[in-house]
Structure 1
Amino acid sequence: MKRFVTFLSIILTGLACQPNEQTEPKPMKPQKIVVYQVFTRLFGNTNTSNKPWGTKEENGVGKFNDFTDTALEEIKKLGVSHIWYTGVPHHGVIGDFPEIGVSSDDPDVIKGRAGSPYAVRDYYQVNPDLAVDVTKRMEEFEALIARTHKHEMKVIIDIVPNHVSRHYEGKNNPEGVLDFGADDDKTVEYAKDNNFYYIPGEAFQVPEPKNGYQPLGAEKHPLADGKFDENPAKWTGNGSRLAQPDFYDWYETVKINYGVSPDGKKDFDELPSGADSLDWKAHYEFWQGKDVPDSWKKFKDITQFWLGKDVDGFRFDMAEMVPVEFWSYLNSNIKNTNPEAFLLAEVYNPSLYRDYIHKGKMDYLYDKVELYDTLKHIMYGYGSTDNLPPILDGLKDIEHHMLHFLENHDEQRIASPEFAGNPWKALPALVVSATSTTSPTMIYFGQEVGEPGAEDAGFGDPSRTSIFDYIGVPQHQKWMNGGKFDGGQLSDNEKALRNYYSEVLNFTRNSSALMGEYLDLHVFNRSINPNYTDKAFSYARWDESQKLIVVTNFDEFQSLKTTLKLSPELLKAWGLEKGEREIKELMFGKKKTMLRVTDSGAEIDLDFGPWESAVFEVN
């Protein structure tokens, strides 16, 4: 405990106060992208009841209007350039909305009470739970878009092309737009222009529950009868071809057909040879006049609808489950409407990364299975930083396209006992994640104040903030402070943590070097310096106007006291003059050390506490 308090006192000294306006350096033009993912339903909820399986009346629910000007300005001050509003399109939810003629979804095919945001029920409307006046729910979201733009941030929403809700019901389609499945031939398993895959002659059966599960936590509901009317049955969202999918399948959704037959035959044109080297304009031209499957057109229309609402981009769920040719078609159409649109995809197979970037015209992909998983292993306490250089080197050709994160709605909260148990353990990983490449950085709301996601929400599991239930987010609620959004209920420790995130993220937004060159120093130092351990990590970043050395210490218990050797390759690139000079830390502005350059090489003195990081500028 003494060690932690000592380290915390250092952080508090440097971060608890806002920078002095007279000494703060003039900011450069923002360059790096910082995405703030927020679960829209939970953000503004001030209710602290947190009853398992609680209703929105019992546990509360956040609204679009909770994102006030004050809230948005405080998010922007964190260093954010884009807000990903998760859970905006109208998805399956338990409860009637008679004012708009929307009936409750069936609990037998809904996960949780509030429903999964990835089981979209109507793509041309927003979740009615998010509106103060459900009859004006779209107007309230349009006002949020305008407010976000007023605070100079861009708006991202989810699109889920692989699947839709089992109870899809397009009540708000624009004129001339048919509903999904409206013209399907349900007598066959597959047809090119069918929107779904069918199991002719068999009716859908609700999965057999496991582990004692009962919808709504066993609360009685007129529709919770173990039945759901779907005849013939459709394939399930994760690809199950059974009329009765398994309980662990995505049984609340049905899979969209993109013109790929059950045996894998593609009923659409292949991309031409060399398409991976063509820009989006050439891809757009390629698809003009082509006969594409009906589902392609439906999702093109959906994205164009939201672009028309001034949405700035999309996060595409499970993109690798949809053919790359479709992405070429969709994304080139999006870029034709808005060339600056932000396109982020959830792809977990590294062998597909380059296809989805170069052929599918994605801007960014999750860097989950390589960088995130490795950093998580290190944060657990038994991973080695020796595993980081091969990852960064292996992704060098596409590093700009790999979005970095330490939390999102699918991953465990850092502060949860099931993960790190202490949010401060993530600080070195945050620095590496945010400064090692030119890619965007993403944080998940509540991450910056140490939210542990510990609630027993109902369907959702503790360690992850539930996306299925009505629930409060305690640490985030402290920062909200009843709608003041001033952190008034946070402890000094929690305020210091949020200030740390703010310092790091704002630094990345204002540092030109972080959009420039990268050179690893870790491997060189591990090979020649026995006092430089596999809990340290270091590298250089630079451009024509700024030279930086980044050093982190992932060790929870041991200080890092040694010298950092600059490699001959870096010395050649930088052309440093011989001599000894003092260099200063830029990100937090407190630390200083000595750089010595001689005929035999160059080195920097390091004296780092546990979990400490620094970015030194070399003049």
Structure 2
Amino acid sequence: MNEPDWVQHAIWWQVYPLGFVGAEKTATLDPAADHRLLDLVPWLDYAVGLGASGIALGPIFESETHGYDTTDYFRIDSRLGSLEDFDTLVTEAHRRGLRILLDGVFNHTGRSFAPFQDVLKSGPQADAASWFSLEWPDDGGPGVEPAYQDFEGHHHLVALNHEEPAVADFVVEVMEYWLGRGADGWRLDAAYAVPSSFWSKVTARVRSSHPNAYFVGEYIHGDYAEEVRAGGLDSATQYELWKAVWSSLNDANFFELAAAFERHNALLSSYAPLTFIGNHDVTRIASKLSDAALVPHAVVVLLTVGGTPSIYYGDEQGYRGVKEDRAGGDDDVRPLFPPSPDHLSPLGGPIFAVHQELIGVRRRNSWLHRATSEALQLSNEVFVYRLAVGADALVVALNLSHDTRRLSAAGATAVVAGAATLDVDADAVLVPPRGWAVLG
């Protein structure tokens, strides 16, 4: 385990900056507004008030469109602002005790990435030709475009050759540069598409100069634990648990969630997964659930199970948004945010309060970071589970039915969150219809 000690207390508020500030959809040297990255500063106190301990930023480097087509890894996107704006944001975040996680796209680049443009200009003899997996035609030469590997069929995303040592040197240089400017860690986009041997070499070198840096890989399939181990990472995104949360709530099938908890326990034996119920790539939880009244149940799971929780901006206000498989299909889940918290609709207040209440429980019980779960009472509509590390324990009761349910309190003596009535003498808890409770 390489995980820095501070991660035990980490709760991320994830922001997709280009959408958050209403940036243009494509790169421009003449954006409609300057210094947009500073638009995040008025929201730092909001993040603290929510209970978060860090800001997980989406792409902020120069890119062609959505940020995942990086063209210059050492410059802030001109649609967002300047290097000085980044420094100000980091300073203001750190002053409030907030960590900063950056989003690094190191599997592929945009076509305008300078080394790739040099390949197109200079041909097979280009210094950076080995950075990419290229197939040259017989008449290949300067000005002739080769065939190249891309990312999952997206031709505008040029895959890097991770067997090339110069690529590893470049990624190390990028990581160390921004960590040196105050970043606290890296989310590694599409980490599953990169050989774990590459990550292992890179993270080992970066840790030698930044031992407290945090590395979390985006994995959507495969052997998560082995990828984390082999890559020298700290964590991986927990898509299995995300799917089980909304699916079990929609189908009133807590057996699915209980099975996912068993898998989650196995992962926790080797690392703490990055847990979430929303991010920049998926339909928002309030839209994913067939009954938005069950959003609090999803939040309960997120903030009680082991792992490092991440809350996607707007989810804590009950925002809706549907991801669609089409051009511009991500826009609905990457929206413009108001200029300040004062401009938020009061309609989001109740779900924000639920987040605050449960984050409070999490912050007071930091051992939950590595807590494993045990199912105590389970049916389609009722799930009572116990979370524990050593002598520390909490009990969670979830009720999907439309009736009040009398459930096991498992020895708990107090309701620490939620609405429920505890009968200590009978070791039982009355959970209201469609209700939930955390017991201590």
Partner in structure 1 of residue 39 of structure 2: 66
- Deviation of 1:335 (Å): 1.6
- Deviation of 1:489 (Å): 4.3
Q: Verify the 8 A CA contact 2:281 2:330 in the aligned structure 1.
A: no
Which letter does structure 1 place at the counterpart of 2:375?
L
- Aligned to 2:46, the other structure's residue is in SS state helix
- Structure showing the higher helix proportion among its residues: 2
- Deviation of 1:516 (Å): 5.8
Partner in structure 2 of residue 235 of structure 1: 148
Once the two structures are superposed, residues 553-612 of structure 1 have per-residue CA deviations (whole angstroms, 9 ceiling, x without a partner) of 2x2x5134133274xxxxxxxxx7xxxxx8321125x64311347xxxxx42333221x2
Distance 1:65 1:517, change over 3 A: closer
Distance 1:594 1:315, change over 3 A: same
- Deviation of 1:311 (Å): 0.9
Whether 1:359 and 2:230 are equivalent positions in the alignment is: yes
CA-based RMSD = 3.5
- Deviation of 1:499 (Å): 1.2
- Deviation of 1:515 (Å): 4.1
Aligned mate of 1:258, from 134, 153, 162? 162
- Aligned to 1:300, the other structure's residue is in SS state helix
Q: Verify the 8 A CA contact 2:409 2:429 in the aligned structure 1.
A: no
CA distance in 1, matches of 2:350, 2:138: 59
Partner in structure 1 of residue 359 of structure 2: 505
Partner in structure 1 of residue 3 of structure 2: none
Aligned mate of 1:496, from 347, 350, 358? 350
Bigger RCO of structures 1 and 2 (CA < 8 A, at least 6 apart): 1
Partner in structure 1 of residue 183 of structure 2: 311
Q: Verify the 8 A CA contact 1:541 1:547 in the aligned structure 2.
A: yes
Aligned mate of 2:258, from 384, 389, 399? 389
- Aligned to 1:41, the other structure's residue is in SS state helix
Whether 1:412 and 2:283 are equivalent positions in the alignment is: yes
Distance 1:385 1:333, change over 3 A: same
Whether 1:198 and 2:131 are equivalent positions in the alignment is: no
Partner in structure 2 of residue 43 of structure 1: 20
Structure 1: give runs of 5+ residues left out of the alignment. 1-28, 93-114, 132-136, 170-178, 205-228, 240-248, 260-291, 467-471, 527-532, 567-575, 577-581, 598-602
Distance 1:119 1:550, change over 3 A: same
Q: Verify the 8 A CA contact 1:202 1:231 in the aligned structure 2.
A: no
Partner in structure 2 of residue 344 of structure 1: 216
Aligned mate of 1:403, from 268, 274, 277? 274
Aligned mate of 2:79, from 118, 126, 129? 129
Partner in structure 2 of residue 298 of structure 1: 170
Structure 2: give runs of 5+ residues left out of the alignment. 1-5
Partner in structure 2 of residue 563 of structure 1: 407
Aligned mate of 1:440, from 301, 308, 314? 308
Partner in structure 2 of residue 164 of structure 1: 109
- Aligned to 1:340, the other structure's residue is in SS state coil
Distance 1:59 1:501, change over 3 A: farther
Distance 1:43 1:163, change over 3 A: same
- Aligned to 2:285, the other structure's residue is in SS state coil
CA distance in 2, matches of 1:403, 1:192: 35
- Aligned to 2:131, the other structure's residue is in SS state coil
Distance 1:519 1:127, change over 3 A: closer
Distance 1:397 1:61, change over 3 A: farther
Distance 1:90 1:230, change over 3 A: farther
Q: Verify the 8 A CA contact 1:91 1:121 in the aligned structure 2.
A: yes
Distance 1:392 1:563, change over 3 A: closer
CA distance in 2, matches of 1:378, 1:83: 29
Q: Verify the 8 A CA contact 2:374 2:387 in the aligned structure 1.
A: no
CA distance in 1, matches of 2:93, 2:69: 26
Partner in structure 2 of residue 604 of structure 1: 428
Which letter does structure 2 place at the counterpart of 1:295?
V
- Deviation of 1:299 (Å): 0.9
Distance 1:462 1:330, change over 3 A: closer
- Deviation of 1:350 (Å): 3.0
- Deviation of 1:436 (Å): 1.8
Which letter does structure 1 place at the counterpart of 2:421?
K
Equivalenced residue count is: 429
Once the two structures are superposed, residues 488-532 of structure 1 have per-residue CA deviations (whole angstroms, 9 ceiling, x without a partner) of 5423x421111111111232122145246534134xx34xxxxxx
Distance 1:322 1:203, change over 3 A: farther
Whether 1:594 and 2:438 are equivalent positions in the alignment is: no
Distance 1:563 1:401, change over 3 A: closer
CA distance in 1, matches of 2:9, 2:356: 14
Q: What is the TM-score when the length of structure 1 is the normalising length? A: 0.63
Q: Verify the 8 A CA contact 2:116 2:128 in the aligned structure 1.
A: no
Q: Verify the 8 A CA contact 2:241 2:264 in the aligned structure 1.
A: no
Distance 1:321 1:407, change over 3 A: same
Q: What is the TM-score when the length of structure 2 is the normalising length? A: 0.86
Larger-Rg structure? 1
- Deviation of 1:312 (Å): 0.7
- Aligned to 2:155, the other structure's residue is in SS state coil
Aligned mate of 1:583, from 392, 413, 416? 413
- Point out the more displaced range, 149-158 or 333-342: 333-342
Partner in structure 2 of residue 96 of structure 1: none
Q: Verify the 8 A CA contact 1:453 1:462 in the aligned structure 2.
A: no
- Aligned to 1:461, the other structure's residue is in SS state coil
- Deviation of 1:535 (Å): 2.0
Q: Verify the 8 A CA contact 1:31 1:511 in the aligned structure 2.
A: no
Distance 1:192 1:454, change over 3 A: closer
CA distance in 1, matches of 2:98, 2:319: 24
- Which aligned pairs between 1:52-201 and structure 2 lie closer than 5 A? 63-68=36-41, 70-92=42-64, 115-131=65-81, 137-169=82-114, 179=115, 186-187=123-124, 194-201=130-137
- Which aligned pairs between 1:533-548 and structure 2 lie closer than 5 A? 533-543=379-389, 546-548=392-394
CA distance in 1, matches of 2:132, 2:14: 31
Which letter does structure 1 place at the counterpart of 2:60?
V
- Aligned to 1:551, the other structure's residue is in SS state strand
CA distance in 2, matches of 1:300, 1:199: 27
CA distance in 2, matches of 1:44, 1:77: 21
- Aligned to 2:345, the other structure's residue is in SS state coil
CA distance in 2, matches of 1:299, 1:30: 23
Partner in structure 1 of residue 243 of structure 2: 373
CA distance in 2, matches of 1:119, 1:44: 19
- Aligned to 1:128, the other structure's residue is in SS state coil
Whether 1:616 and 2:402 are equivalent positions in the alignment is: no
Q: Verify the 8 A CA contact 1:40 1:62 in the aligned structure 2.
A: no
- Aligned to 2:395, the other structure's residue is in SS state strand
- Aligned to 1:358, the other structure's residue is in SS state helix
Whether 1:327 and 2:199 are equivalent positions in the alignment is: yes
Q: Verify the 8 A CA contact 1:516 1:541 in the aligned structure 2.
A: no
Distance 1:61 1:490, change over 3 A: farther
- Aligned to 1:505, the other structure's residue is in SS state helix
CA distance in 2, matches of 1:516, 1:324: 24
